[in-house]
Structure 1
Amino acid sequence: MNIKSLLLSCGVLLAASPAFAQAKEITVQIWGSTWENGLMAISQQFEAETGIKVNAVTQSSSGEGLVKLQVERDNPSVDVWFATNTIASEAAQDQKLFVKIPQDKLSNRDQLIKGAMSEDWVGIYYYPMGIVYDADAIDVPPTSWEGLWKPEYKGKIIAPAMSIYSGSLLTVANIINGGTSENFDPGFEALKRLNENVSLYYTSDSQARQSIVQGEGTILIGQSSHMKAVAGEGLNMKMIAPRPAPMYFDVMMMTNGSHQEEAAKFIDFIISKTAQEEMLARVNMAPVNRNVSLPPELAAALPAEGDGIVMDGAVVLKNISEWSVRFDEIATR
């Protein structure tokens, strides 16, 4: 056999060999802190079990992430997008970019808690926005949202900017001051007064955690993963979620990409009991799989029955641009 025939023969053998088959993979777009603190390790477990490699593209917020996806609407490179449920519900109207969840391919769907799946998205975990505080640094701990306006908290509060958590702080301020979904003026007037007590407005979860660890405040308006992460730095962190506590699902959506079968397998893996237990241990978020037990400290941080509220995604989308302008005027004073 001559060299040419030998190479052709080897080429045929190599092409036919499963060991040299092209590896399956998906790309997910996710918040950097969520990826590093939880999903990266869980994705490695998924890869070990299925042989499907998971690549990550990071985003600082759901809104910023959606803009990235829209740029490549005609040929998405991302297969699974992570977002808050409020942003996801509105983003789903883009039926060219996103596809419906193939629920018949999710073997773990019957284990989900109520509200954890829609036709457009599947929840990863859920959490309330609440008040996280350093119990060793505060003489009188806050017991309600209204208490944050007390003068003794001047310069001690780290609060979310309008660009993160879909205006949750504004929504709380508006409700407790008599506002409505059509009139947010009472909320903005309350935020003007609260501004005296705010030392910093954060735009990412990592900035929120870093700020309180560095002593830029002793009270963080945030969620349960903040409590766990900051406690890991040696601070005695506590959390309450008083009424009205904005409730969120962080969710997964599927794009109209070229790896939809693999994407569905990934989503199904993430909502499995094993992956949900791992996620709970790593990020301290309430699991969407009802077969996972809550640790006492997380159960205590969740709002009492009836105290949680779900923000209207349509109202947020309609008003967020105007809210951002008005908020910036307050925050820069």
Structure 2
Amino acid sequence: MKKVRRNLMLFAAILLVLAGCGKPVQPKGEAAKANTEVKKDELSIAIFGGDWGKTIKKHIIEPFEQETGIKVNIIEGNSTTTFSRLLQEKGSPTIDLALMDSGISEMSFEEDVVEGIDKSKLKGIDSLLPEAFHGNGEDVFGVALGYWGLGIVYNKDEIKNPPKSWNDLWKEEYKGKLTVPTPATTGGLPLLMQIAELEGEAKGTVDKGLSKMKELEVVAYFDGSGTATNLYQSGEASVGAHYGGPAYVMKDQGQPIEFVVPEEGVLGAGSFWHMVKGTKKSEQVYSFLNYATTKSAQEGIASDLYLAPVHKDVELDEKTIERMPFGKNGSIQDLNMPDYNLINQHREEWNELWNREMGS
């Protein structure tokens, strides 16, 4: 267990440098002050930066503040930087509620830096899908902001025979036009596992998958959503992997970009709210979670970020429905959800293997 914990902390420290999404975690500042004084009218929350952060503020944080009178101190970062900070502050946190993605979410619970969620303290639970709650077995430790996934993207002006399957990325005509994620991203190791599975490899091993990935002639690998978007926008890459939300943003901006749900399904992931272990503001945390899972909040997040909502009664326009990560007529259950616990068991090993074999 000590070795696992040491490896996890090393992993978190490494990803502080590698991760390409969001801003670095801000200094303690107001968050520390709020937690130290236990002000009941304040709450410190770690969220993502960029468009995600703006959308979360617009549809959840600002209306929550207006409705409750609770001031939210925002700490912007990404899943890995937030996780690293929680490890550093274990036992004396300055964050009350943290947003983290699949994979890092499970690690945060394993490392005992987040609390279990008491579903009885959530209102309107009957209006939420089962997927609203994230955990291991009976242990619920996350409440979903929404679900998203890694799929295939192509430039329709450059690619005349669009890909339909992950296997299609190896087409001769795509050589030198591709980009795929590194393990530093949420989708990197799930994609490596998917390719290994398509190569007939047993679960828990990725040697054949890595050998197959080495055959790809890529323009570049991307280590964050923003990097991938830049590659497609600049025209350096015209086909490969990307996340649905950013891909549709490019399309809305007039880029000739199309998003494809692969035959094998989008490689699913979720973004989850976690109550930080040791917070003195659990009452305010549950109040926030209750607002974050309302119909209006879920509709706003789905419409602006194209995340699959977990409220049963959301009303989405046709455009948003078509851009759900599982396609127009699917559901969250249709997402190809990787085994993130298995990935975490091999995360350090597979990262080292990728860096050694792929040289990036």
In which range does the TM-score fall when normalised by the shorter chain? 0.7 to 0.9
Q: Structure 2: any 5+ residue segments left out of the alignment?
A: 1-38, 135-139
Q: Say if 1:304 and 1:50 are closer, same or farther in 2 by CA, change over 3 A.
A: closer
Per-residue deviation at 1:304?
5.7
User: Which residue of 2 is the match for residue 10 of structure 1?
Assistant: none
Q: Which has the larger radius of gyration?
A: 1
User: Which residue of 1 is the match for residue 358 of structure 2?
Assistant: 331
User: Which residue of 1 is the match for residue 9 of structure 2?
Assistant: none
Per-residue deviation at 1:109?
2.3
User: Which residue of 1 is the match for residue 66 of structure 2?
Assistant: 48
User: Which residue of 1 is the match for residue 275 of structure 2?
Assistant: 254
**Partners of 1:130 and 1:222 within 8 A in 2:** yes
User: Which residue of 2 is the match for residue 215 of structure 1?
Assistant: 235
**Partners of 1:212 and 1:220 within 8 A in 2:** no
Equivalent residue for 1:64, pick from 70, 77, 81: 81
Q: Say if 1:68 and 1:300 are closer, same or farther in 2 by CA, change over 3 A.
A: closer
**Partners of 1:173 and 1:190 within 8 A in 2:** yes
**Partners of 1:191 and 1:330 within 8 A in 2:** no
Render the CA deviation track for 1:184-210: whole Å, top value 9, x for unaligned. 11111111112x1x2222222222222
User: Which residue of 1 is the match for residue 348 of structure 2?
Assistant: 321
Q: Which moved more, 1:169-178 or 1:241-250?
A: 241-250
Q: Secondary structure at the match of 2:130?
A: coil
Give distance in 2, aligned partners of 1:79 and 1:69.
10
Per-residue deviation at 1:300?
7.7
User: Which residue of 2 is the match for residue 120 of structure 1?
Assistant: 141
Give distance in 1, aligned partners of 2:325 and 2:306.
12
1:111 paired with 2:127, answer yes
Per-residue deviation at 1:165?
1.1
User: Which residue of 2 is the match for residue 184 of structure 1?
Assistant: 206
- Using structure 2 for the length normalisation, give the TM-score: 0.79
Give distance in 2, aligned partners of 1:205 and 1:298.
17
Percent of pairs identical after alignment?
Answer: 25
Equivalent residue for 2:255, pick from 218, 235, 252: 235
User: Which residue of 2 is the match for residue 287 of structure 1?
Assistant: 309
Give distance in 1, aligned partners of 2:236 and 2:44.
36
Per-residue deviation at 1:134?
2.2
User: Which residue of 1 is the match for residue 168 of structure 2?
Assistant: 147
Per-residue deviation at 1:79?
1.1
What is the RMSD computed on CA atoms of the aligned residues? 2.2
Per-residue deviation at 1:244?
4.5
Q: Which amino acid aligns with 1:98?
A: V
Q: Say if 1:120 and 1:307 are closer, same or farther in 2 by CA, change over 3 A.
A: closer
Per-residue deviation at 1:220?
4.2
Task: Compare relative contact order (CA 8 Å, sep 6+) and give the higher one, 1 or 2.
Answer: 1
User: Which residue of 1 is the match for residue 116 of structure 2?
Assistant: 100
Give distance in 2, aligned partners of 1:249 and 1:277.
16
Q: Which moved more, 1:165-174 or 1:269-278?
A: 165-174
1:200 paired with 2:220, answer yes
Per-residue deviation at 1:307?
5.7
Per-residue deviation at 1:301?
5.0
Q: Which amino acid aligns with 1:69?
A: L
Q: Secondary structure at the match of 1:98?
A: coil
Give distance in 2, aligned partners of 1:94 and 1:300.
30
Per-residue deviation at 1:124?
0.8
Q: Which amino acid aligns with 1:139?
A: K
Q: Which amino acid aligns with 1:226?
A: P
Q: Secondary structure at the match of 1:78?
A: coil
User: Which residue of 1 is the match for residue 337 of structure 2?
Assistant: 310
Give distance in 1, aligned partners of 2:275 and 2:299.
23
**Partners of 2:247 and 2:257 within 8 A in 1:** yes
Q: Which amino acid aligns with 1:73?
A: K
Q: Structure 1: any 5+ residue segments left out of the alignment?
A: 1-21
Give distance in 2, aligned partners of 1:87 and 1:120.
12
Per-residue deviation at 1:145?
0.6
Q: Which amino acid aligns with 1:232?
A: D
**Partners of 1:172 and 1:245 within 8 A in 2:** no
Give distance in 1, aligned partners of 2:68 and 2:95.
19
**Partners of 2:265 and 2:326 within 8 A in 1:** no
**Partners of 2:204 and 2:346 within 8 A in 1:** no
Q: Say if 1:169 and 1:41 are closer, same or farther in 2 by CA, change over 3 A.
A: same
